[in-house]
Structure 1
């Protein structure tokens, strides 16, 4: 079991890529089905089923659009539909399935009764796809793409996992259009295994999505304190688990065994739809409350953009769900009134904008680094290739083509050597120009790592560490904790900016955390989202003190202390290259501290 867990930890990023590619493909297939396969046949009227016996239902026309295709065929409100293309109709669902087989522009033969007269007429069929489903699936696709970037940048973050989970669940809910294509449209013949699998994923997703949404907005941008109460988090997963069992059971009984009416399934869908809508309303209120809790303009800007987009989404949804039905007789007669629902796609776009521009969710730094360094390296590589090519051509023309192969080989060897050394210097130049804060940190921490090993005496080492991190990095919040050899607790020995002077941390989950994280990266960092698991007794104290990053000082699998950091002067959290530099300096500090302690114990 341990080896399996380690395998998943090591392979996590590859698994994220693989799963994300599958989900993105599913989202594209969903959109294809909505537009091209599952478009509903539309005869510009409404059918109403009315019970006329124990087991029989009569279908009557209502809201026939004046001068619409049904009106032009001579049918009026109150007429009874008996057959379509010669097939007797047991209910409206079967009638819709039969009509959906007719291509757009073709005519369907309707057998109609008016009073005691039965007549046959031909209705030209139109096609209508659901703007609501299209908007939902476009939102799911965009959210999934952003979620992939978010989770790849920070696979351990709770907020990042929830954001990705919302995208994944939204995509899988969209598979309902594939299932409907098999049941209502007869366009797709799903095997029992594929149908069961899609049904399982759909039920699982629609039951968990509302709780992912609520949990996300209770955590983003800052978690609410009530999440730490014992029953809250378990209930977030227990309740949807129970709902899934009920929903999937109904689904199997309706479509697998045909033992109960489809009305039970439609009722379950309506209930889950209400839950999804309520979850977004709760999420909106939670985001608004969280926005009011933020103190600085820098914190509020990105959240305001998301809140504004969320407001548009709520307005578009309310209009489509309440206003549009009130001002139209039926969607089939006035589909254009329902198009504003497409505005919901701005929601994930607002997240994308805030993530990139305001470094939200610790993602934009990674993206910007990748783009800038990647572009710079590729540009340098292109310049070198061009230079080598021109050099080779010039020499070949001067001494002849017989030695062209040797010249090319020698030129590329020289190129490889020069490129590697020049690339590193070029990246340092890019860091200095585009990331001056990081470049300054790099110089300070490299210098400190070289000097700390020469210091004598524990107090001198601790003073040097405090001066380097506080003065050199210009930090307002910083602390050093060392492990007490008798109690095993981490005790505060130096600090700047903390309101407590006698801080003691117990970390029962620290070693397990370090072992798991070291499988992924040698640079282990404990972030605010990890505090509850690693420091269960002191998590709230650390959060209250505005500590965001903790670097363990480790020697030979033994933790000797912790470095606590607040935010950088820019207001952002340490991440990426910063963590590498802090970890390296922390390791050098740990060696110096341990040597000083050993010297004092022997003195």
Structure 2
């Protein structure tokens, strides 16, 4: 998956002050949302709209969740006073408009059938319907904030994620500003209008830079900020006379509708432009998916507004539909961004978190339902019946909790994680397949066939360094890539690979490929994996990309190991050929003792050179293996130094010393075949992983057994993990049945490991390591060898590693 450096260092922030500004605005909006939510929960709203009818002010309409409805006020009741003023003292603006919106009413006195009812937003009794509405809208607002923050935190220091963060913040703020407006909070009316004016241009700004930045005005720096000119003009017009007595004026209503329409059409135009001018397949797919996401925003409006209005015969206002579409667009766009990896966000949410959210949600539903039943039964006035109903609800909730949670968890596993678990199984199977052969052609075929079958791809091929113009040649192919002409076109269309290329490469349109995936082992370019789209024409999911990322890492290491092994075997054949050639020459020089001796010396020298060449190749494999983990760097070199000291201490002869040094240098050569996911794991290994690790002594012997000069070193390498009491591996040898060199190497190897840092623990001191050796002497190690080693390293001297 694409990897992005997300560290927001102070230097980066200083270079991008606009980013800091946008970030500060986002956090300020979040704080304002929290404030408005808390304030809305702390006071009710009147919920009564008033009108002037026949020179008398009466109640025109009531909000169902308002305080007026809860106190029994009815439509047509006569107004006595508003905010402490009697109708005769009302401002002229109220009289001209002949209406008073409920958002302007903080105190209200009503004559209802001869009874005077006084209401105030400072009333300590808040209707339950009022609280429910506030909680629901606060949760919706929190959902908007969460979506925006999630995308932002997953893609820090990114223009598109930052603007989307602001879009989500502003959309969430609009819901809470509407609540505050109903409660007549200070400047809430102005805030709510400003937010809905700003939103279309924030959405347009997002589509300006995503999925690809537009270059219409590339000569002007930060030209996208010109998008906010209409917003500034609208705010000035609004403050200059666009509203009166809590109502927008008619001319400003026209300007408001034009602003919404212009912003929405401009956003759709930017999407269309991205689709038409797309250079890469992935950009075109992103544009299509994001457009569908915009259409999804219409669904809540269809269910919540258009359908009820059509049923009730209420007029459907296009401006309201447009504004609601923009309001819900962050949710639908955020879903498509995360679901279809449009910004390469790795959605790896632990099941425990998802389960926790489900449990919390179910408890909230139970709580709200119980509370609603209590309120309903409490209004009936029968206390005994209320207790019985609530008790039975509690029993039903307790009995149904476990089955509901189990069913929800099963649905989550099937819906969200099924593919991920299937892919993990596929990765394990492919890893085992990689370890079953070292032949490059077989590995290539296995890689391509396994990948295309697992993901259901129409075609795929593997390219590796070759003699073509691009430096790459097709090793194995399926589908349309099996044709020679297609391969030639593919090789010509491959972009030059650079070290900073990210995974996956975006394939150019003329290649018809979905991905170009570079295969690298360290800094070595091993090859290139070219994959077409799915046979079903479905998009690649987050789990698909995670599978490809893991597969690419393991395939690169396996192919690199196979290539190095092939080179080693090629050198081995050269060595054998040289031996035969030198033997022939020696036969022709039998008549001349001087010449024979000279030829023999040449033979010995060439043999030493070829042996050294092979050893250098083998040491390269060891260094490559040790470079994968900073904790094991230099391990083989230190073990060889200890081996020389032990040989001297025990009085080994020259041949035994040579065998010990060779074994010490190459005992871990086969660990290069162990995958990184096992080798760098910072926790305990499972049985399958432990078995994989325990194969490395036998694999090392298999790799080195063709070399005559390694004959005496092979038993040491093969048995250096045997235990003195017979519980080691690979053959469970016991006591003196374990070769002497293997018993020596076992003590040295363990001592160096204990005094080195590991991902799962810190290094022991030399004294602590010696104590551990003595503790397990007789069980894991030969007691005599342990004491000889302790004497050889001289504990009275500095035991730190060289």
Which structure is richer in relative contact order (CA contacts within 8 A, separation 6 or more)? Answer: 1
Larger of the two Rg values belongs to structure: 2
TM score, norm. by length of structure 2: 0.39
